[in-house]
């Protein structure tokens, strides 16, 4: 009984801090319809700021809490809203997720720069004080956490229900223009929401680090608050009371799991996966979204290149790799090959995200399935790589099938849940076929040639990339590619033409996962040794960010993305700068959704004259290769052309 | 010949009854029109027929077969195609690709989808836009793209939701001929339209909906003479519907019921001031629209959508 009580108290305390974090998430989402992936990272950074003030600068604990929660955090939230969020507010789910991902990795990068790894510990509040109920000891810190959760819940509820400002905030999300017409100030509302959300993240972060006095950790703290996603989904991102209940249930589940669950080898990682499983369940309980009708908005895409040009580009890439082989040092040749393996991984996002508009944060898991297969088979035959691709495709189908009803953000969240489950329950768990530490791998042996040298491997990876890249371009030119884009633009219209949207979605997930798995198989061979840490869910965040910034709609964007990802892995010291650049690039996505390469293409395709709408040839070209940046000129052009449209029946 | 029967279909959104026990039919070889003021439930009925909206009650039959619970994409394979009142062209594909997606979707029917696509582009007169992205063409043209796309699956039953808005007078004229042509091939054409001139000219049968209820059915002459229609459709002392081609969908000014439940923006009270309508002689209850070569009628509606 006492054990049960102890775990119940523990669960309630954990649940209380999840509830605080999740309510901040719900507040920002409900007001601005932007899901803040960086919520956990905000909590992490604010916990560090708290440590800095209270333990490095020697201010009192309470003063530091007040400064962080009522000063630094809201200011940060408001500035973030002003400079970043507002610019992408009208973009699609893909862009807003990527931009908040950029904020997340940017915050982690910044925290690592400002507070280099070292001893960062905080004490419990009311250390030494507490209550003893029966045999169960409840610390002062625990009581504080629960009390604050109750206060936060009550204050937020009353604020949204009864105050003028709160009601206006709820109105802001329904129709910003309408609110503005009635004298409301939607920008102010969203600033306030982000400031409050950030303050709540800070409070949750501080409570979490002080409840379990251990070394402050950049990633684990960020991920800890990821658990609040699950709680927020229990309230379907809009209902505060249900969010609180969800948080408490999740906290209790977590505590009971650690207390009672059988601790056999097969269950390792199950407890860590509980929030992800909870999140997945909540998503699967979402009601079916109606097919949205009533918009005509294409997503900009780059012009599909001629196959002749694709051949030329492939030859150039191979030539560059051969050249690199003869110029670069051994280490750099290895890096080049690594970059090409990552490019294959990045390529897997092109049909999935670039064409179909599905945001996936499970790509590294598919990559890992391919690598794991190759490592487990411990074979140098190409069949091992192909088997890896096949198994990854199966994993892709497993992700797609349960989430068939989900759209946009919810689909993305379900891929997060899947990646977390794969990471904790499979990759880290040898008894379920996972790595369990790391495994050695063999290099490919194909056509009677053994690709033992890095140089040969680099050429192999480049050749595979070229073949797959050409395949992606052929896909885009063909029937299936048109269907993917049509499905993204209007699922309703597709259905009325007899296309089965579910089949197409499962197929694109399977194909994308297979490409990622193939890349993973090659990667495993290159590395000689792979382990579960290579394929953590967390890696998929920078991957998505980098590829989308580089240009997720084009094969060249995937190549650039692969190289950038390699740079991130190989030169950790550049991380902070790279993330800063990416954060800036990500904000630009609202204007140029085709990323860096799309921007470069648009410079090539639309010289300045056409951009300004001068000359009919330029305009016609502008229509054909229109990107969002050129939207206005293209429309002007089409209107003047379209004035004497005729129907010839 | 194909035949659509909608029997006593009811659709309720929360407390609002958008369609109330409506029974209509459409037959192959005929143009059947569905008219009624905004909010009458016309588009909702289209959504029920195509399967995008589940009815609260009632049944839908195609050639006597109950399709009430058939998913949308299967209905399309049974020969139902439609266009949308609020455009649903594939914005990031070119006009040609838009049609090609549909031609490919029924490859069993279309031996040569590329040819079918080219043929439709020519037939509907979209040559000059073939390579333009669908989100960059004027609204009227985008409607024709949707029509061509729907025709590409070679439907037995074609549902057109306000296809002529955005077309000029000359374009509307030839569009009417196209409709007659489609019906004469044996297709059933069901059309929702505000252009009364066009409707009276091309329809064989007209169904009139008001606030979700069917209030009259018959030939154009019968419907024009129906006192209930006069009252409900025009309002007793209200002005006739002001409906010029180029107008945006949201801009129809004769609003008899407060909100259009078909419309995504239904929850929002109208913020745009309604355009003052012109008084017309009371002698002709549903006058053919004066579609003179006015400054407005020749202009494609291109604003608002982008």
- Asked if the Cβ–Cβ distance from A648 to B305 is below 8 Å, we say no
Mean pLDDT of A34-62: 89
Q: What stretches of A235-306 show up as alpha helix (H) in DSSP?
A: 240-260, 270-284
At A272-308, the pLDDT tens digits run 788 888 888 888 887 765 555 444 455 666 677 888 8
- Asked if the Cβ–Cβ distance from B93 to A300 is below 8 Å, we say no
Q: Are B50 and B269 in contact (CB under 8 A)?
A: no
Percentage of chain B lying above the pLDDT 90 cut? 37
B104 has a chain A CB within 8 A of its CB: yes
Which of B50, B131, B299 faces A624 most closely, judged by CB atoms? B131
Angle among Cα B43, B47, B48 to the nearest 5 degrees reads 115
Pairs of CB atoms within 8 A across A/B: 192
- How far is A123 from A246, CA to CA, in rounded Å? 28
Element spanning A450, H or E: strand A449-450
- Domains belonging to chain B, first-starting first, are 3-79+155-267 (3.40.50.300)
At A428-444, the pLDDT tens digits run 877 767 777 778 888 88
Judged on CB neighbours under 10 Å (0-12, 13-18, 19+), A467 is: exposed
pLDDT the model gives residue B66: 93
Q: Is the pLDDT of residue B251 over 60?
A: no
Which of B87, B125, B267 faces A296 most closely, judged by CB atoms? B87
At B164-183, the pLDDT tens digits run 887 888 888 888 999 999 99
Average predicted confidence (pLDDT) for chain A? 81
- Asked if the Cβ–Cβ distance from B101 to A499 is below 8 Å, we say yes
* ipTM score over 0.85, yes or no: no
- Asked if the Cβ–Cβ distance from A494 to B101 is below 8 Å, we say yes
- Chain A residues lying within 8 Å of B178, measured CB to CB: 647, 649
- Asked if the Cβ–Cβ distance from A492 to B128 is below 8 Å, we say no
- Chain B residues lying within 8 Å of A405, measured CB to CB: none
At A230-245, the pLDDT tens digits run 888 888 887 888 889 9
- Chain B residues lying within 8 Å of A175, measured CB to CB: 268
B77 has a chain A CB within 8 A of its CB: yes
The encoded tokens of residue A541 equal 């965040």
Per-residue HEC secondary structure of chain B comes to CCEEEEEEEEEEECCEEEEEEEEEEEECCCEEEEECCCCCCHHHHHHHHHCCCCCCEEEEEECCEECCCCCHHHHHHCCEEECCCCCCCCCCCEHHHHHHHHHHHCCCCCCCHHHHHHHHHHHHCCHHHCCCEHHHCCHHHHHHHHHHHHHHCCCCEEEEECCCCCCCHHHHHHHHHHHHHHHHCCCEEEEECCCHHHHHHHCCEEEEEECCEEEEEECHHHHHHCHHHHHHHHCCCCCCCCCCCCCCHHHCCCCCCCCCCCCHHHHCCCCCCCCCCCCCCCCCCCCCCCCCCCCCCCCCCCCCCC
Give the chain A residue whose CA is nearest to the CA of B106.
A498
- Domains belonging to chain A, first-starting first, are 2-260 (1.10.3470), 307-588 (1.10.3470), 606-642 (no CATH)
- Asked if the Cβ–Cβ distance from B124 to A648 is below 8 Å, we say yes
pLDDT the model gives residue A129: 75
- Asked if the Cβ–Cβ distance from B90 to A492 is below 8 Å, we say no
Label residue A213 by pLDDT band (50, 70, 90): low
Cα–Cα separations (whole angstroms), residue A239 to A148, A190, A196, A229, A408: 19, 18, 16, 13, 19
B266 has a chain A CB within 8 A of its CB: no
């Amino acid at each position: 009984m006492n054990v049960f009580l102890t775990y119940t108290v523990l669960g309630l305390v954990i649940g209380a801090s999840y509830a605080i974090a999740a309510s901040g998430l719900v507040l920002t989402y409900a007001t601005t319809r932007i899901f803040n992936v960086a919520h956990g990272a905000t909590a992490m950074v604010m916990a560090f700021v708290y440590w800095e003030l209270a333990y490095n600068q020697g201010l009192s604990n309470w003063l530091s809490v007040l400064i962080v929660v009522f000063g630094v955090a809201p200011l940060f939230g408001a500035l973030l809203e002003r400079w970043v969020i507002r610019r992408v507010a009208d973009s699609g789910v893909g862009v807003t997720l990527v931009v908040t991902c950029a904020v997340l990795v940017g915050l982690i990068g910044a925290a690592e720069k400002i507070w280099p790894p070292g001893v960062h510990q905080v004490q419990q509040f009311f250390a030494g004080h507490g209550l003893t109920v029966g045999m169960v000891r409840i610390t002062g810190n625990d009581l504080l956490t629960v009390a604050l959760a109750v206060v936060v819940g009550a204050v937020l509820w009353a604020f949204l229900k009864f105050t003028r400002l709160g009601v206006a905030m709820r109105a802001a999300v329904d129709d910003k223009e309408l609110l503005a017409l009635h004298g409301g100030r939607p920008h102010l509302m969203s600033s306030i929401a982000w400031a409050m959300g950030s303050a709540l993240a800070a409070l949750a972060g501080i409570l979490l680090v002080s409840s379990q006095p251990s070394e402050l950790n950049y990633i684990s703290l960020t991920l800890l608050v990821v658990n609040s996603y699950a709680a927020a989904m229990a309230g379907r991102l809009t209902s505060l009371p249900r969010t609180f209940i969800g948080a408490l249930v999740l906290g209790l589940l977590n505590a009971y799991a650690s207390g009672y669950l059988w601790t056999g080898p097969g269950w390792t990682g199950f407890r860590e996966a509980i929030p992800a499983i909870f999140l997945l369940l909540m998503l699967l309980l979402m009601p079916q979204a109606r097919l949205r009708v009533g918009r005509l908005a294409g997503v900009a895409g780059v012009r599909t290149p001629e196959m002749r040009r694709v051949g030329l580009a492939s030859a150039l890439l191979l030539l560059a790799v051969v050249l690199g082989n003869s110029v670069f040092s051994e280490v750099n040749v290895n890096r080049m090959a690594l970059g090409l393996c990552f490019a294959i991984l990045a390529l897997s996002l092109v049909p999935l995200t670039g064409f179909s508009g599905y945001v996936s944060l499970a790509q590294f898991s598919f990559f890992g399935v391919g690598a794991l297969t190759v490592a487990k088979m411990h074979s140098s035959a190409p069949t091992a790589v192909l088997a890896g691709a096949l198994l990854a495709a199966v994993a892709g189908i497993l992700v797609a099938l349960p989430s068939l009803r989900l759209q946009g953000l919810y689909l993305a969240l379900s891929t997060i849940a899947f990646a977390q489950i794969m990471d904790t329950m499979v990759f880290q768990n040898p008894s379920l076929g996972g790595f369990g530490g790391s495994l050695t791998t063999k290099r490919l042996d194909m056509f009677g040639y053994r690709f033992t040298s890095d140089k040969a491997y680099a050429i192999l990876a480049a050749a595979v990339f070229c073949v797959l890249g050409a395949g992606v371009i052929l896909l885009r030119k063909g029937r299936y590619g048109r269907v993917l884009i049509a499905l993204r633009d209007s699922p309703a219209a597709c259905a009325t033409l007899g296309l089965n949207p579910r089949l197409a979605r499962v197929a694109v997930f399977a194909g994308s996962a297979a490409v990622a798995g193939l890349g993973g198989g090659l990667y495993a061979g290159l590395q000689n040794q792979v382990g579960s840490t290579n394929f953590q869910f967390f890696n998929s965040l920078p991957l998505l960010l980098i590829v989308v910034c580089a240009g997720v709609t084009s094969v060249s964007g995937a190549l650039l993305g692969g190289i950038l990802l390699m740079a991130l892995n190989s030169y950790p010291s550049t991380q902070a700068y790279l993330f800063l650049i990416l954060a800036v690039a990500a904000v630009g996505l609202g204007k140029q959704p085709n990323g860096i390469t799309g921007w470069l293409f648009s410079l090539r395709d639309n010289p300045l004259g056409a951009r300004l709408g001068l000359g009919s040839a330029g305009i016609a070209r502008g229509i054909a290769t229109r990107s969002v940046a050129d939207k206005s000129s293209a429309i002007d052009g089409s209107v003047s052309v379209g004035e004497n449209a005729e129907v010839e029946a | 010949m194909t035949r659509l029967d909608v029997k006593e279909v009811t659709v309720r959104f929360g407390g609002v009854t958008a369609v109330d026990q409506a029974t209509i039919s459409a037959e192959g070889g005929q143009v059947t029109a569905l008219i009624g003021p905004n909010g009458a439930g016309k588009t909702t009925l289209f959504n029920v027929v195509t399967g995008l909206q589940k009815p609260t009650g009632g049944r839908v039959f195609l050639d006597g077969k109950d399709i009430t619970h058939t998913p949308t994409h299967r209905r399309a394979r049974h020969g139902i195609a439609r266009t949308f009142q609020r455009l649903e062209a594939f914005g990031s594909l070119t006009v040609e690709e838009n049609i090609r997606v549909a031609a490919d979707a029924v490859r069993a029917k279309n031996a040569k989808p590329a040819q079918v696509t080219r043929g439709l582009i020519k037939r509907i007169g979209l040559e000059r836009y073939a390579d333009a992205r669908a989100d960059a063409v004027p609204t009227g043209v985008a409607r024709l793209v949707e029509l061509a796309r729907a025709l590409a699956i070679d439907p037995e039953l074609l549902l057109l939701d306000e296809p002529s808005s955005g077309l000029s007078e000359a374009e509307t004229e030839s569009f009417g001929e196209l409709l007659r042509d489609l019906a004469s091939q044996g297709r059933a054409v069901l059309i929702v339209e505000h252009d009364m001139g066009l409707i009276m000219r091309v329809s064989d049968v007209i169904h009139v909906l008001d606030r979700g209820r069917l209030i009259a059915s018959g030939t154009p002459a019968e419907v024009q003479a129906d006192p209930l229609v006069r009252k409900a459709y025009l309002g007793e002392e209200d002005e006739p519907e002001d409906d010029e081609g180029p107008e945006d969908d949201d801009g129809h000014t004769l609003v008899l019921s407060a909100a259009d439940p078909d419309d995504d923006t239904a929850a929002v009270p109208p913020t745009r001031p309604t355009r003052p309508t012109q008084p017309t002689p009371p002698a002709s209850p549903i006058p053919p629209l004066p579609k003179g070569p006015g400054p407005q009628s020749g202009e494609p509606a291109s604003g608002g959508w982008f």
